[in-house]
Structure 1
Amino acid sequence: MSMSESEAYEAGMSLPSDARRRLAIRLLESVDRDEAFDAAAESWLRNEAAAAYDALKADPSRAIPAEDVRARFEAKWAARS
């Protein structure tokens, strides 16, 4: 018997956080990348990521500690519920 997408989602959400993380990675790795994804990733790397890197190299005082970035993401994630 197969599950619907929403049933699979609900089952996945009932897993502990670490298990969900591992499952998400496995699911992402199972999906074939396509040309549109590759083009978007390449564009992001060449434009946004490269520009951000250059700006940070030019003014290192703009750096944000990784712990602060993680805390911001966790706060945004928690606010979703």
Structure 2
Amino acid sequence: MWLSASEFYEAAMNLPPSVRKDVALRLLESLEVADDDAVHEAWTVEIGSRIDDFFSGKIQTIPHAEVMAKLAEDRAARHATRQQT
């Protein structure tokens, strides 16, 4: 016999809190494995694409010092904006 999602929820809400927590965690874990595999595969494809773009010259890198200078500039601008309000 299968319960509808609503029936399952109502039944679960009648369980003691510690048991509800255990059931909830086990249900989440059952989803995370599938999600982890999908995320890993998607990142593998994305990383491969980015590496290909780098070596083909399709993208250009930005020197570390330039990135850090831009971050410092942005941070200072945000700080100045906050000081005005």
TM-score using structure 1 length: 0.41
Structure whose CA Rg is larger: 2
TM-score using structure 2 length: 0.39
